[in-house]
Every structure is written in C-alpha cells, then in structure tokens.
Amino acid sequence: MQEHSQVDLIVRHALIITQDEQRSVFEDGALAVDGGVIVALGKTAEIEQRFVAAKRIDASGRALFPGLLNIHTHLFQSAVKGLGEDMAVEQWVQAVTFPTAATMNAEEVYLLSLVSCLENLRSGATTVMDFMYGMRDPALHEAVIRAMVDSGLRGRYTRTIVDRGAEMGILPAMLQPAEEALAHAQALQAAYDGAGDGRLDIGLAIGVIWGMTEAGLRAVRRVADATGMMITMHVNETPYDNAFAQEQWGLNTIPMLERTGVLGPDFNAVHCVHMTDEDIALFVEHDVSVAYCAVSNMYLGSGIPPIARLAGEGLRIGIAADGSGSNNCQDMLETLKFSALLQKVGQQNAGSVLAQQALDWATRDGARALGLGAQVGSLAPGMKADFFLLNPFTAKAIPVHDPVATLVYSAGQANVDTVVVDGRVLMEDGQFTHIDETALLRETQRAAQHLARRAGTERLLATRASWRPV
C-alpha cells in the first residue's frame, strides 16, 4: 500500500484556475497545502492517492482562483464612505478626508481598517497594499497594522511622507519633516516587518508631488535604497500635479521624480491618468510598476489612465480599489470588472482588454508589481496557499461557461464562499472563521458616526438625509 503524506489541508473536486505561466486549468482538481504553502496540485484522484489531510474541503461545483491583489488602498478611509460625494479630488481631500484623518483616534482607525480588510477578503483579495497617510501619531499607524494582521490578510503597509502642503489644506497632524517621517517608517520596519507570521512587510509612500520638497524626494530614495523598502506614490491623478511641478521646478512630475532619483523598479506609481509620451518613456526606462484604480478614477472624475498602452509597453500593472472614500467600497470584483471596462471605453474598442488580461493584472501581474511574484498571484507547488473558491449558484452568475469571464464580468461577493490565506481558512461557506463580523459592523457604524460628528464632516449631510442604523 502506498504511503500517504500528511498535510494540513486538501481542497478537492474544484475547477482550478492556476494563473501559472501556461494558464493551466485542472478540471476535478485538488490542491494540497502544508505549512501555509501549496505542496501539490493536480487531479483530485492523484492528490488523494498521495496525501491525507487534517482538514478537507469538498469544492464540487466551484472554481478555485489565486487570491486577488489589491495593490493600492487606504484602509482607514471607510471612515468617509458616504460623506464626500461628487467632488473633485483636491476639494474632496480638503473637505472630507483631511479633517477626518486629523480627528480619528486609534480605536476608530482599527475598526474602520478591519472592516475594509474583511471586504477585501469577501471579494477574493488576499493581498493588500495599504497607503497610510503621514499621521504624526504612531498609534494610528499601529492601529492599521494591527487590523491587517488580525484580518489574516497578506499585506504591505506603506507609511506616507508629506513634508509640505499646508497651503493645500494638509493639516499639521499629517505633516512632518521628511527625516522624521522616514525615521518613523524605519522604526515600523524594525517592529513589524514579518508580523502576522511573516504575512506583513513595510514600505514607503510619497503622498503626492504637491506635498513634497525636493530634499524630501531625495531623502525617500536614500532610505529606500538603504532599507530595501519599496516606494509608492500618487502620480498624475489630476492635471494639478504637473501644474504644481512646473511652477515649482519648471518640470512635469515624472521628469522631476527622475531628477531626484525616485524612479526605479521598486517604485509603484498610483493612478497615472495624465501621462505624456515622455512620462511613459521614463517609466519604461526605469521599469516602474503601476497601480490602476479604475473605480476611483471614475468616482472622482479624474479621467481614463492609458493602462492598456502602459501594459503594451511591458510595464507591470496591478489593479486597486483605492480607499473607500473614493470608491466607495473595497469590492475587488467590482474593481476587476471596471478595470476591463474603463479601458474599453477609453480605447472605444471592446477587444482592447480581454477578461484574461484583467485577471492577470489582478493576480500574477499585481504580484510582480509588488515584487511578490515568486510567492503569490498564481498557484503552483512552492507558492503561498492564498486562494478563494467561487460558487456560481446565484442569479448574478448563472449560467456559467467560461470561469474567467464569470469571475471578471458576472461574479459578486455573494459568489466568494471560501477564502484561504497562508493556508489558513479565513472564510468558509460565507462565514468568517476568526472574526464576529456582525458585531464588528455594528461597532464600526457607531464609531464612524461619532467620528463624523467630531471631524465636522457631518455638516456635509446638512441638506441630505442622515442615516443612523445603530
């Protein structure tokens, strides 16, 4: 009789979409997981001959996908969901986001961030890169990190550096000399790199060009080189970025980033809506990666970023929900669909971005954009066991024929019924296994109401109905 190896988890009888190099698909597939890593995958009969597991999940009728990557968000921003509708970005940050950020306390930030994490998981996202504002209070940073760890997600926490911009409404609570902010980022790296059993690491974020001095830009690059932390930054979300850079330095934003040494393979540019030919050539030359925030770009009326073109130039593209302030949720399936649709609109060509391309951005390409391509974004032996099961039996998704088309265009959160991160089953049959979601949602609603009152953002509702369910 053949020896069976003991593993932690077997998921069997699934249609497995691996997203590996060949885009292999296994019908009646199974996957064996041990120590948080995929040890084997193949036909169910073959896997069950080789392994026995402490836990088995029967995935009959369901499809198994690698976990999605949400490569840009602001988890705390669920605080402003429903408060700042219908404004352009500069007006919106000043009226809603900055007053909220300057008022919130650590307990509120924890709850609001944890809710954002749960929605990422509910929509199939297993890796999230957070872009936390440059708050002076270390407790606010630690609250987001704690929420990411407690949620069970894999993630990268990036700490913003903003060293000017008071005249643009950036409040004192979020402004700091670059050297101080960078010292804090390094302290976070020392304390939290590898937190959550190795699921979390730390990076650097540059808020926006109009929040930076030239010395600050150079300092960020210096620290990135010294510590190995990556750099992410909001770039050319609106034409104001270039107007500001021209006025300050006589250069557009991206040439200014090149002059200060900021561009490189470890640089991730968020938005990239307003791009010149020169900008694109510089991105290609420096092999930067791009975070595509389709829903946020539509929500704030920022424009259509030339993502299909950037992808065609060979740049690494990932997709992102952006914060719940400009989305207004963290639904990565919605983001996946709009990521394909917005490019089709921009190009006036239905064939410009195929469903498979959008899925690649959401999985393997997004992982490469974060330098995590050897760990997540596809399913193969040796990769992290981060995946979800899609149950198609809802009116939204049925009938199904092509699993990729179903995921990108017809699926919703109700179809994601099981989520595994690092080999740990975080959600099974639609229920979180580690968090009392109902209690969390009620507590967070109460906290958000209280915060809106203190931040003065409640007055934005003066002419509208105010909804207080708890």
Phi, psi of 36 (to 5 degrees): 85, 0
Q: Cβ 241 to Zn ion, closest distance in Å?
A: 13
Q: Based on CB atoms, which residue is closest to Zn ion, 96 or 397?
A: 96
User: Among residues 17 and 208, whose Cβ is nearest to Zn ion?
Assistant: 208
Torsion angle, alpha carbons of 337, 339, 117, 374, to 10:
110
Choose one: 144-152, 207-215, 320-328, 389-397; the region binding Zn ion (CB under 5 A).
320-328
Is residue 322 involved in binding Zn ion (CB under 5 A)? yes
Give, in order, the Cα–Cα distances in Å from 329 to each of 118, 121, 123, 317, 332.
Answer: 11, 12, 11, 21, 9
Q: At 356, give phi and psi (nearest 5°).
A: -65, -40
Toward Zn ion, which CB reaches closer, 279 or 322? 322
Judged by CB, which is closer to Zn ion: 29, or 325?
Answer: 325
Q: Nearer Cβ to Zn ion, position 258 or 322?
A: 322
Question: 6: buried, middle or exposed (CB in 10 Å: 19+, 13-18, 0-12)?
Answer: exposed
Selected range binding Zn ion among 46-54, 321-329, 358-366, 438-446, rule: CB under 5 A: 321-329
To Zn ion, the closest distance from the beta carbon of 95 in angstroms equals 17
The residue range among 29-37, 55-63, 162-170, 322-330 that interacts with Zn ion, by the rule CB under 5 A, is 322-330
Output the smallest distance, CB 37 to Zn ion, in A. Answer: 32
Are the CB atoms for 56 and 381 separated by under 8 Å? no
Is 130 or 322 the residue whose CB approaches Zn ion more closely? 322
- Cβ-closest position to Zn ion: 322
User: Which of 77, 252 has the CB closer to Zn ion?
Assistant: 77
Query: How far is residue 268's CA from residue 289's CA, in Å, rounded to a whole number?
Result: 5
Least CB distance from residue 293 to Zn ion, whole Å? 7
Using CB under 5 A as the binding rule, whether residue 241 contacts Zn ion is answered as no
Smallest distance, Zn ion to C-beta of residue 2, A: 53
Q: Find the shortest distance in angstroms from Cβ 300 to Zn ion.
A: 10
Residue 182, CA distances (Å) to 141, 152, 160, 205, 209 in order: 13, 27, 9, 10, 17
Residues 317, 311: Cα–Cα separation, whole Å: 7
Residue 99 or 323: the one with the smaller Cβ distance to Zn ion is 323
Q: Residue 72 Cβ, how far from Zn ion at the closest point, in Å? A: 6
Minimum CB distance to Zn ion, residue 359 (Å): 23
Determine if residue 94 is left, alpha or beta; phi over 0 gives left, psi from -120 to 50 gives alpha, anything else beta: alpha
Determine the interface stretch with Zn ion among 88-96, 155-163, 314-322, 363-371 (rule: CB under 5 A).
Answer: 314-322
Q: Positive or negative, the Cα torsion across 259, 260, 263, 269?
A: negative
- Give residue 169's Cα distance to chain centre: 26
In the shown chain, the binding pattern of residues 327 to 356 toward Zn ion, with x for contact by CB under 5 A and - for none, equals: ------------------------------
Report the alpha-carbon distance of residue 206 to residue 190 in Å, rounded: 20
Q: Considering only residues 197-236, where is the footprint of Zn ion by CB under 5 A?
A: none
Residues of this chain that interact with Zn ion (CB under 5 A) are 322
